[in-house]
Amino acid sequence: MSPSLGDPDFLLPERKARIDEVVSHRTRTLTVVMEALCDPQNVNAVLRTCEAFGVQALHAIEGPQKRFDRNKKISQNADKWLDVRRWASTRECLGFLKAEGFAIYATHLGTDSVALGELSFAPKVALVFGNEHRGVSDEAVALADVNFTIPMLGFSQSFNVSVAAAITLARAVDRRVAERGRHGDLSETEAQALRERFYLLAVKQRTRIAKAERSEARRERHAARAKGSE
Amino acid sequence: MSPSLGDPDFLLPERKARIDEVVSHRTRTLTVVMEALCDPQNVNAVLRTCEAFGVQALHAIEGPQKRFDRNKKISQNADKWLDVRRWASTRECLGFLKAEGFAIYATHLGTDSVALGELSFAPKVALVFGNEHRGVSDEAVALADVNFTIPMLGFSQSFNVSVAAAITLARAVDRRVAERGRHGDLSETEAQALRERFYLLAVKQRTRIAKAERSEARRERHAARAKGSE
């Protein structure tokens, strides 16, 4: 009997192994907060970078004007594999994260800011990236445990937010391995739940691809017949 | 007597001090090669990141289709402060850099590739980033001293090239400080030449801004008179 659609047995063993490997690198003890980003291209580039660095959960605080927008082309569908939680206000979002035990590190140049290289990633950390034009809000700065900056050596005043997120996350992963012993750190229960969810997503993806292939084959047969009867 | 246009004395002391500081962080012993990038947005994002990390000289190898294109909005004019040399072929460009004593590190996943974290930045290093779709060419891989990759922990197969360049350069700056004692390392002769060039560019910029301000003021006076005579 062939496996039914929706059945994880429908997945090739290599695909399952790949999912298991990805899950082994996932973490929920490092997270990213996007505060009122206005460019969907930036939002989606940050999602893609988080996915590539194993950051499973993200938080998007809605800006006054634009809603969080999902762009498949840029994120390359990365958010399908992530948990993105939306918030109406900075206070609610950071309040939640503090209650969950996260240290809040906001990208902000102030008198008490420290350089990225000085940050400790021993605790659970939420990295806050601000709006492209205004930076992080005064509220985020006030609620943050630490404000930090990426040292800029040239005339440029700032990095693009997706570049800043990538530089910060690369550093965070290195430091977590050094300070915590490892980056990926889901509990076995969390890992099992995520593996099952990813298997299901992968089966759905495979089913869609199989359908697309069948209808493409049909189109080709029709085209061949049409050509033959010309 | 007021200073004449083109005279560095036309610059405010703070502006001169800023230029001197930027020059103190500049280097010509770390460089970036963009091999046949096809998206001007990526090219210009890489320029902006190089500028922010003090990398003074870059090399652009022309692709078969598109010419290197400069986009002021994205690079935020960063290339004005950089030396970008164009090359018709990978062989010529990498041959020149090898003759200049650069170790060639190409971003490429092969059987002998090493992780970014394993790279030494003690020597003079040229980092090669490849085309968005094809990656670096076989020729670049063969000519490289080392092929390296940024470890990917998720389902994504690759970073956007400007993100890859940013992560790599951030790491390179850190490692250079650790391994060479400092990142910015122009000789006093090189630094003096660059300071003078930047003063001149800044004077030109200031002159343009002053002209724009004068013509804006004129427009406003005309508009006020026109309103007054209504």
- One-letter amino acid for residue A31 of the chain: T
Between CA A105 and CA B115 the distance in angstroms is 27
- Using a CB–CB cutoff of 8 Å, tell me whether B162 touches chain A: yes
- Using a CB–CB cutoff of 8 Å, tell me whether A159 touches chain B: yes
- Using a CB–CB cutoff of 8 Å, tell me whether A82 touches chain B: no
Which among B76, B154, B167 has the least Cβ separation from residue A166? Answer: B167
Residues of chain B with C-beta less than 8 angstroms from the C-beta of A53: 153-154
ipTM here? 0.82
pLDDT at A67 over 70: no
pLDDT in tens, A142-193: 999 999 999 999 998 888 899 999 999 999 999 999 999 999 999 999 999 9
pLDDT at A229 (0 to 100): 62
What are B32's two structure tokens?
A: 């970036």
pLDDT at A72 over 90: no
Element (H, E) at B142: helix B138-143
pLDDT at A1 over 50: no
Taking the CB of residue B10, how many other CB atoms lie within 10 A of it? 18
A227 CA to chain B: closest CA distance, Å?
34
**Least-confidence region, from A12-16, A181-185, A219-223, A226-230:** A226-230
**Least-confidence region, from A5-9, A66-70, B44-48, B124-128:** A66-70
- Tell if the CB–CB gap between B154 and A51 is shorter than 8 Å: yes
- Using a CB–CB cutoff of 8 Å, tell me whether A48 touches chain B: yes
- Tell if the CB–CB gap between A52 and B171 is shorter than 8 Å: no
pTM: 0.85
pLDDT in tens, A14-27: 999 999 999 999 99
- Using a CB–CB cutoff of 8 Å, tell me whether A154 touches chain B: yes
Q: At what angle do helices A40-52 and A161-180 cross, to 10 degrees?
A: 20
Residue B136: HSE in the Cβ half-sphere, 13 Å Cα cutoff: 27
B89 CA to chain A: closest CA distance, Å?
29
B53 CA to chain A: closest CA distance, Å?
5
- Tell if the CB–CB gap between A163 and B49 is shorter than 8 Å: yes
pLDDT in tens, A200-215: 999 888 788 888 888 8
Between CA B207 and CA B147 the distance in angstroms is 46
Who wins on pLDDT, B157 or A194?
A194
- Using a CB–CB cutoff of 8 Å, tell me whether B52 touches chain A: yes
The DSSP bridge pattern shows strands A30-35 and B83-87 to be unpaired
A207 CA to chain B: closest CA distance, Å?
18
pLDDT at A8 (0 to 100): 62
Which among A76, A154, A173 has the least Cβ separation from residue B81? Answer: A154
pLDDT at B225 (0 to 100): 83
Which among A81, A117, A154 has the least Cβ separation from residue B54? Answer: A154
Q: Give one word for B144, left, alpha or beta, with left for phi > 0 and alpha for psi -120 to 50.
A: beta
Taking the CB of residue A227, how many other CB atoms lie within 10 A of it? 8
- Tell if the CB–CB gap between B25 and A153 is shorter than 8 Å: yes
Q: What's chain A's average pLDDT?
A: 88
Residues of chain A with C-beta less than 8 angstroms from the C-beta of B78: 154-156
Which among B52, B154, B171 has the least Cβ separation from residue A154? Answer: B52
Between CA A9 and CA A16 the distance in angstroms is 9
Contact predicate A80/A120, CB 8 Å: no
- Give me the tens of pLDDT residue by residue for chain B, a chain 230 residues long: 444 545 666 788 999 999 999 999 999 999 999 999 888 888 888 999 999 999 999 999 987 655 555 554 445 566 789 999 999 999 999 999 999 999 999 999 888 999 999 999 999 999 999 998 889 999 999 999 999 999 999 998 888 898 999 999 999 999 999 999 999 999 999 999 999 999 999 988 878 888 888 888 888 888 888 776 65
